[in-house]
């Protein structure tokens, strides 16, 4: 499934396909299959690089990133500054000591600008778009609901001229319960 935001032509030109309606005036349409019945599911599936903030608002609690793995796929490329440089990443989003999302991703650094920010300046991969002042294109590639409708997952892409992130997220059973993180 591919879901992208439609860009209305302006002065004969189509606007770039950035983060939906965040920074531009255009109509946004986010139609997901009918199997995704709850509005909260649909909001989380369409979160475009801001899932941590969405989850924090939903639970009304802080949500942190627990980095499990964040390494270059081919370390020699990193040492030689040979582009592209791909990072493989595995993280949990954690709320009140409870994992609310598991994400595995690849991050391709395509330009010396992006590589320099990560290698020389120590900018975290999650902050790259902000440091470069770029709004990436969001494309939802797949979305799945478990057979028992208890959990769901998605795969999406955030893309700019400098960086491409492909992210697969899995949401655990029961995480849509507003008290999911308050259990002891």
Residues 129-157: tens digit of each pLDDT: 989 999 899 999 999 998 888 899 999 99
Nearest alpha-carbon partner for 158 in 136, 141, 129, 173: 136
Would the pTM of this model clear 0.85, i.e. be above it?
A: no
Give me the phi and psi of 88, to 5 degrees please.
Answer: -110, 135
**How far apart are alpha carbons 71 and 146 in whole angstroms?**
30
Arithmetic mean of pLDDT, 104-132: 89
pLDDT given for residue 79 in this prediction:
84
- Strongest mean pLDDT among 34-43, 48-57, 162-171: 162-171
* Average pLDDT for the chain: 84
More confident residue, 14 or 76: 76
Q: Is the dihedral of CA 24, 61, 70, 143 positive or negative?
A: negative
| Dihedral-angle region of residue 129 (phi above 0 means left; psi in -120 to 50 means alpha; beta otherwise) | alpha
What's the average model confidence in pLDDT over 84-94? 95
The pLDDT, as a whole number, for residue 126 is: 75
**pLDDT band, very low/low/confident/very high, at 29 (cuts 50, 70, 90):** low
Q: Check if the beta carbon of residue 68 is closer than 8 Å to that of residue 91.
A: yes
Domains observed in the chain: 16-21+35-175 (3.40.1410.10)
């Amino acid at each position: 499934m591919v879901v992208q935001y439609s860009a209305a032509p302006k002065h004969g030109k189509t606007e770039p396909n950035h983060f939906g309606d965040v920074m531009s005036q255009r109509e946004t349409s986010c139609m997901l299959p009918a199997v995704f019945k709850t509005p909260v599911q649909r909001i989380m599936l369409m979160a475009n690089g801001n899932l941590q903030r969405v989850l924090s608002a939903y639970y009304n609690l802080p949500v942190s990133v627990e980095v499990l793995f964040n390494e270059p796929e081919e370390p020699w490329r990193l040492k030689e500054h040979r582009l592209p440089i791909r990072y493989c990443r595995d993280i949990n989003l954690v709320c009140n000591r409870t994992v609310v999302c598991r994400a595995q991703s690849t991050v391709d650094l395509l330009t010396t600008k992006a590589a320099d920010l990560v290698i020389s300046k120590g900018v975290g991969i999650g902050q790259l778009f902000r440091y470069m002042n770029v709004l990436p294109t969001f494309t939802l590639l797949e979305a799945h609901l478990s057979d028992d409708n208890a959990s769901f997952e998605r795969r999406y892409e955030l893309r700019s001229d400098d960086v491409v992130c492909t992210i697969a997220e899995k949401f655990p059973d029961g995480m849509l319960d507003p008290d999911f993180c308050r259990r002891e």
